[in-house]
Amino acid sequence: MGHVNNAVYNTYIEESRMSFWKLVEPGRSLETAPFILARAELNYRSPARESEVIQVSIRVAWMGSSSFCFEHRLIEKQSGRLIAEAISVLVYFDYESGRSAPIPQQIRAIMTDLSGGSIEAKPSTN
């Protein structure tokens, strides 16, 4: 159909999460990454063509005690055209206990630094 299939966008977003996590814990295998995906939302803004180079930006938008939210923007690199915007909510997870776990302070600090130094608290839900 001449454009990138919608499922591929989720792969781009997953790759950005993994690249981000490699910066947070450089020595840790991604197979043991201590989080699980709890929510994903993707808003398509413009079709990406197969020949285009897509750049994905990622930052932590907010952090709770055991969950955090990534914001993603997919941009066509040459023109700067917005392709899509997404959020993904992840839960810091202890696989041995099968439960969520508090995000360690050191991890919080690194994620804050990588996200430009400012992260909001988790929004309250009504």
* pTM metric for this prediction: 0.90
Tell me what pLDDT residue 126 has. Answer: 52
pLDDT 10s per residue in the chain (126 long)? 677 888 899 999 999 999 999 999 998 888 888 999 999 999 999 999 988 999 999 999 999 999 999 999 999 999 999 999 999 999 999 999 999 999 999 999 999 999 988 888 888 765
Q: Can you tell me whether residue 20 is helix, strand or coil?
A: helix
Phi, psi of 32, deg, nearest 5 = -115, 20
**Cα dihedral 50→52→53→54 (10° resolution):** -80
Where exactly are the structural domains of the chain? 6-118
Q: Report the alpha-carbon distance of residue 9 to residue 34 in Å, rounded.
A: 23
Best CATH choice for the domain 6-118 from the list 3.10.129.10, 3.40.50.1220, 2.30.30.190, 3.10.180.10: 3.10.129.10
Tell me what pLDDT residue 104 has. Answer: 96
User: Could you tell me whether strands 82-94 and 67-76 are parallel, antiparallel, or unpaired per DSSP bridges?
Assistant: antiparallel
Quote the radius of gyration of the chain (alpha carbons, Å).
Answer: 15
Strands (E), the chain: 35-44, 54-63, 67-76, 82-94, 99-100, 120-121
Tell me what pLDDT residue 59 has. Answer: 96
